[in-house]
A and B are shown apart, each in its own frame.
Chain A
Amino acid sequence: MSHKIRIGIDTGGTFTDFIFFIDGQLFVKKIPSTPHNPSLAILAGIKDYLKKSLSVFIIHGTTVATNALLERKGGRISLITTKGFEDILFIGRQNRSNLYSLDGEQRQPLLPRQRCFGIEERTTAAGKIEKSIPTDALEEILDKIIKKKTEAIAVCLINSYANASNEHIIKKAIKKRNVPFSISSEILPEHREYERTSITAVNAYLIPVLSRYLSNLEKNLNHANLKIMQSNEGYISPSFAASAPIRTSLSGPAGGVVAAFHLGKAAGIQNLITFDMGGTSSDVSLLDGQIRRTNESFIGDFPIRMPIIDIHSVGAGGGSIAYLDRGGSLKVGPRSAGAKPGPACYGFGGNPTVTDANLVLGRLVPDFFLGGKMNIYPKRSRRAVKKIAGAIGKSIENTAEGIIEIANATMEKAIRVISIERGFDPRSFSLFSFGGAGGMHAVDVASNLSMSRVIVPKNSGVLSAMGLLLADAIKDYSKSVLKMNDDITVKKEIRGLFSKLIKKSITSMKKEGFTEHRIKIFPSLDLRYLGQSYEISVPYKENQPFDSAFHSAHQKLYSYFHPNRPVEIVNIRIKVVGITEKVRFKKHPPESPNPQAALFGKQELIYGNKTFEAKLYKRLLLKTGNTVLGPALIVDDEATTLLPPGWRLTVDGYFNLIIQRK
């Protein structure tokens, strides 16, 4: 499995980022994305490496599936379900999204009701097949589906999580018709019919789009070995991704978290909260020596109940617009000025944004905005912020600080959700900041949450692509159990179920090209107190009790536990990892504490209602061991880092900026 060239490619909305690892060296490249056909930018970026007969290994983070879902540009699908439940996708959970609105609500279903077909069959909750599939009726339905020019078929039957045999019969029949399919008991064999049907339909909807994209891309890659990043922190082969595109939903942001994990580990810092602040939104996630996952996320309106990295997004970023509402309260976001017209300082629009507030306060260096490649107009920022300042009777500077405080409060709330609400104390974590706008806010956000350290990694502008190079191959398997953990037969049954799943997962990882000694298995159990509706995942070790681990996890999350209540085993899960060779980070010895060589100027900085003179440093010229005292700004091509007064920055052996209180 050794390859001479490894490439991480992350397709973003604006830029496609590349990281090349060739002969022990890392190179970075950024070229404009080609949203109508993302593979064009990719091929342009790597063409030099495809011509020669090189051994090339590519891990790709793609937003093709997610965008197709959000923009409703997926395939033409049909749904087969149990008769009497054809409307399941249209009823959803029977609730509305906005509690207080007299304006109604518009929904965009993935398929019209006419392509939802019910079949007379029934499985009971206990897993008994009460009515098997009537073959003639099934063939009739398939005839209709084919006539309707269906590109993929979703199949989800009531209670199929408890026994999938009826779904298997349908699957066999579809296979004969040669139409791509998505089977609920394979995608998500867990109870809750709406969530399972929805994810199965979403998956079917994305199959045509992602398989077209990937086969087209592979065709043009010659012999390069392509892998696709998934939302579960690992990559997988294109053919597997094309059959389960839902697994690529967080393909892009997942890379950033994986990078944080490995860079943190190299630097000896395991407890991290990642903070990726972009133009319109910000993502946060928590690592406590491992990447945390969740089974309860949404993409657009669609619930995704499969294990994906627990990334929480909020609608606030550098481009978020500030305005005064009718009650006299200053609001920031969720409306964003986007890339066009962009913040007022871009010269096209007049709405004050977070970026404008930063510029007014001297927290950006106008001549070095995006490495000096872009002209900006600080006067326009002042003018935009002045409009609000006039209305609230404050100075332009105070108003700008207010805008930033409010944006920071939104970030803090997001971090509270993934830390305090999950039972973690942010004070024992470091804030790992990347993304275009993160560096200007990271120290304040950390400080407000009493976090004592901020890390701004090297290559922070292409961190997701970096993470792709560091990822392993990962697959997840699960099985609903819904049994009480109270007797020996259940324990035996669980052992049996685990060994079946483990066998299956090892076989499938071998198919991905891994030998047994490079395969690692992580079994876990989703547990809850009998009667509860939400589960907590606890690691599983054969012949070892897991109740006490569950009690203490419940205590940690919710501050109480039921010592005598029976524990229910809801699902068993296997995460199987194929370990790949990775980029190794070299630690450089400290050179000198004096950062003088990187100093290139000074500018006025307003912080906490006071004016300071901030020193300006070029990030690329900072050496290991350099120490900078705030107030200062560290500038590179992608981002600016604000080092406020009272804080000290040191450059560690991996060229990370480590920021702590003086």
Chain B
Amino acid sequence: MKAPSFDPIEIELFKNIFVSISEEMGAVLGRTALSPNIKERKDFSCAIFNKKGETFAQGSHIPVHLGAMPLSVQEALKTHEFEDGDIIILNDPYRGGTHLPDLTCISPVFIEKKLEFFVANRAHHSDIGGMSPGSMPLATEIFQEGLIIPPVKLYQKGHLNSAVFDMILANVRTPDERKGDLLAQVAANRKGEQRMIDTVRKHGIRKITIYGRFIQEYAEKILRQTILDIPDGSYTFVDFLDDDGITNKPIKIAVKITIRKSEAHIDFSSSDPQTEGGVNANYAVTSSAVLYVFRSLIKEDIPFNTGLLKPLDIIAPRGSIVNAQYPAATAGGNVETSQRIVDVLLGALAKAMPGKIPAASSGTMNNIAFGGYDRIRKKSFAYYETVGGGMGATSKLDGLSGVHTHMTNSLNTPLEALENYLPIRITTYALRRGSGGSGHRKGGDGIIREYEFLEPAQVSIISERRKFAPYGILGGQNGRKGRNILISSSTNKKTLLGGKANFKIQPHDRLRIETPGGGGYGEKK
């Protein structure tokens, strides 16, 4: 039988099918999960893979997960033999994960007793143990950040491996919520498996396999054409992370992008070494950031898959801030360093394509985690959320205000849901006027979010752009830097906290987060 050749009609039909499978998985996960971070904020991603662990399509959820998921499946492939009904779980950043709170569940899909595909989803859990509630601590080694799960079988031949399950639940602060979220992740994978099996039944294994490949080639082809439009040459840019939370030293991230016809070499060799504090990005995070930026250059609506990696050659030296090695702490690498990697990539591309690249967006996810004991509800709590900021201005538009940019797009938790569920009160949730950089087009404003605690709590903050402002472009002004402030209820005294902080807060004290604005575009006329 002759292999089917690329058909412009069928490619469109299969794109439709693959994308809708990953979206249906996402619908199950989002609607049945228990923690606000997954159900309200949608901090998760779903994808389908070929048997080598390369993606066909990923649901459009969280960009920072996207480049990283294939590495999870490939790690699982290295370590395990699969049987029908298995589910592998992992979070180890050095064996297929990104940072510990992101738990990934991987299911093999068997067709006529042969392993043919994988489906997987990754969700950010609001606690995975470790030294502080919410598992986003200021740690110096990964062991402090929480429970490390190498690729292990959570389900074997369809049966729950309760030894693994119990071990996980015994190491987290909110086991009941973790259990509900994990079962939602399992249900999402089961939905994906079933849909893949149904699709094969309808179209045949040969066709699905071949069109899986064509869809990767299709994405690659469009990216190559997009890169062709960028003038050949080398473009560099440097920006800094404020610090690693342990020392005060700025951390340099430098990139040199070399465009040669339809290919891009992205070289991070001049970046600083990995640090003691947890802002280290592993390779998966760095490649996600690169993929995100190049995907964003594409105007077409294309499926996000492994094909996009082909024209990109990423050089990230081992042991550097963009390719940290075991046992470096990584909690902030995924959420903060990934944003700065995007900033330097866009800064470099702006030199290649002036006018087409926006000013820097807020450049931080403003991660807030806290936990304690709730005397009224009589249970422990652990909570995690991120706060948006200002979007950078473009040549045509002012930046949006109060929004998540680049590597995340998670929703806020409605404060009415938050207050109903936790001993906390939100006293202000507003735009931070004047924080967007001025210019021909103005950068978007950041957010002010003020929390009043009703119970004592341990709080950790990982935020950035408190020392180095989001850059304006082509004469536009920088966005304002962010600030974290502790307000005492007894004295009303305001204490300026660092960008990264870990402290105990007393009832009725308030935590005020003021997030950075976006950079302005062009000189103000």
Contacts and interface: CB of A to CB of B under 8 A. Distances in A.
Interface of A: 84-88, 90-96, 99-107, 124-125, 158-159, 161, 191-195, 324-332, 392, 399, 402, 405-406, 409-410, 413, 416, 420-421, 482, 529, 531-534, 554, 557-560, 562, 565
B154 interface: no
25 contacts: A90-B401, A94-B402, A94-B447, A96-B403, A99-B63, A99-B409, A100-B296, A104-B399, A105-B391, A124-B425, A125-B416, A125-B419, A192-B414, A194-B412, A194-B414, A327-B300, A328-B218, A329-B12, A392-B8, A405-B9, A531-B177, A531-B180, A558-B28, A558-B32, A559-B187
A405 B300 contact: no
Residue in B8, B35, B295 with the greatest tally of chain A CB atoms within 10 Å: B8
B402 A159 contact: no
A95 B403 contact: yes
B9 A327 contact: no
User: 9 shortest A-B CB distances, which residue pairs?
Assistant: A402-B9, A531-B34, A533-B39, A104-B397, A125-B419, A84-B428, A94-B412, A91-B402, A104-B394
B191 interface: yes
B16 A94 contact: no
A296 B130 CA distance: 38
A329 B429 contact: no
A554 to B, nearest CB: 8
B62 to A, nearest CB: 9
A101 B403 CA distance: 14
A102 B15 CA distance: 24
Given A102-B297, A104-B396, A328 B420 contact: no
B364 to A, nearest CB: 14
B9 A330 contact: yes
B396 A103 contact: yes
Contact of A406 (B13, B176, B346, B411): B13
Interface stretch (B158-166, B219-227, B277-285): B219-227
Given A105-B397, A125-B420, A421 B24 contact: yes
Contacts of B40: 533
B183 interface: yes
A378 B187 CA distance: 51
Given A100-B63, A327-B222, 17 more contacts: A84-B450, A88-B429, A91-B429, A96-B404, A102-B296, A102-B356, A104-B394, A193-B416, A326-B221, A327-B11, A329-B15, A421-B24, A531-B35, A534-B39, A559-B187, A559-B190, A562-B183
A598 to B, nearest CB: 35
A91 B402 CA distance: 5
A193 B419 CA distance: 11
B192 to A, nearest CB: 12
Contacts of B419: 124-125, 159
Interface in B408-446: 409-412, 414-417, 419-420, 425, 427-431
Given A91-B429, A125-B419, A100 B295 contact: yes
A351 to B, nearest CB: 17
Residue in A102, A392, A557, A560 with the greatest tally of chain B CB atoms within 10 Å: A102
B401 A191 contact: no
Interface string B1-41: 00000101101110110001000100110111111100110
Nearest to A161: B416
B269 interface: no
A85 B221 contact: no
B8 A326 contact: no
B400 interface: yes
A191 B187 contact: no
B329 interface: no
B302 interface: yes
A104 B13 contact: no
A91 B447 contact: yes
B222 A326 contact: yes
Residue in A100, A159, A331, A392 with the greatest tally of chain B CB atoms within 10 Å: A100
B431 A326 contact: no
B389 to A, nearest CB: 10
Interface of B: 6, 8-9, 11-13, 15-16, 20, 24, 27-28, 30-36, 39-40, 60, 63, 176-177, 180, 183, 187, 190-191, 218-219, 221-222, 225, 292, 295-298, 300, 302, 346, 356-358, 387-388, 391, 393-394, 396-405, 409-412, 414-417, 419-420, 425, 427-431, 447, 450
Residue in B296, B402, B420, B427 with the greatest tally of chain A CB atoms within 10 Å: B420
Contact of A328 (B8, B30, B187): B8
B417 A533 contact: yes
A86 B428 CA distance: 9
Contacts, number: 198
B210 to A, nearest CB: 15
B405 A104 contact: no
A565 B179 CA distance: 11
A330 B16 CA distance: 12
B20 A416 contact: yes
Nearest to B295: A100
Residue in A93, A406, A482, A562 with the greatest tally of chain B CB atoms within 10 Å: A93
A576 B332 CA distance: 53
Contacts of A560: 32, 183, 187
B402 A87 contact: yes
Nearest to A190: B416
A495 B109 CA distance: 48
A96 B300 CA distance: 18
A364 B494 CA distance: 75
Contacts of A326: 221-222, 225, 300
A191 B296 contact: no
Given A104-B394, A327-B221, A85 B60 contact: no
B391 A104 contact: yes
A85 B416 contact: no
A103 B6 CA distance: 32
A192 B300 CA distance: 34
B430 A104 contact: no
Contacts of A87: 402, 429-431
Contacts of A99: 60, 63, 409
Contact of A413 (B11, B20, B31, B428): B20
Residue in B15, B177, B219, B400 with the greatest tally of chain A CB atoms within 10 Å: B400
Nearest to B518: A104
Contacts of A195: 414
A431 B183 CA distance: 35
Contact of B415 (A92, A100, A193, A416): A193
A158 B417 CA distance: 11
Nearest to A391: B8
A399 B16 CA distance: 18
Contact of B36 (A413, A533, A562): A533
A327 B16 CA distance: 15
A545 to B, nearest CB: 22
Contact of A191 (B298, B397, B400, B417): B417
Nearest to A196: B416
A86 B430 contact: yes
Contact of B400 (A84, A104, A532): A104
Contacts of B15: 329
A91 B388 CA distance: 9
B34 A532 contact: yes
Contacts of A562: 180, 183
A95 B402 CA distance: 8
Contact of B410 (A84, A95, A405): A95
Contacts of B411: 93-95
A486 to B, nearest CB: 14
Contact of A106 (B8, B388, B397, B450): B397
Contacts of B292: 100
Contacts of A420: 24
Contacts of A558: 28, 31-32, 187
Contacts of A330: 8-9, 11-12
A92 B31 CA distance: 20
Contacts of B225: 326
Nearest to A192: B414
